Amino acid sequence: QVQLVESGGGLVQPGESLRLSCATSGFTLDSYAVGWFRLAPGKEREGVSVISGNDGRTVYGDSVKGRFTISRDITRNTVYLQMSALKPEDTAVYYCATDFPAGWKVPTLNFNDYTYWGQGTQVTVSS
């Protein structure tokens, strides 16, 4: 059974950092991509970052480049999103998702390419 469970969200002030975790089961991180997406009130779902399965390539959305870092621990079946220099506009519910069973060869931030999703974790950036 494929499952993804996010954790690590919370309330932080602008400029601070936060690390999100995505604990996975039912598939292997070295074969399938895991992406982070976010949804803010009144906005469309946005692709934040993805790490590919076979070679660990990473892709970032323009709004987070240079501030966010995605990584994975295959032994722990967990993907992380380290968020730094947070801004109020980063406020959103953050979801992780996997492209299992498709296993696209090129990592993508298109949410339509992802099949299984976690329940989300709230990140609020406010002073």
pLDDT digits (tens, 9 = 90+) for 4-47: 999 999 999 999 999 999 999 999 999 999 999 999 999 999 99
How many angstroms separate the CA atoms of 71 and 124, rounded?
Answer: 22
Peptide bond into 101 cis (omega under 30): yes
pLDDT digits (tens, 9 = 90+) for 66-91: 999 999 999 999 999 999 999 999 99
Q: Specify the pLDDT at position 43.
A: 94
pLDDT(105) > 90: no
Question: 80, 20 in Cβ contact below 8 A?
Answer: yes
Q: Specify the pLDDT at position 64.
A: 98
Q: What is the CA radius of gyration of the chain?
A: 13
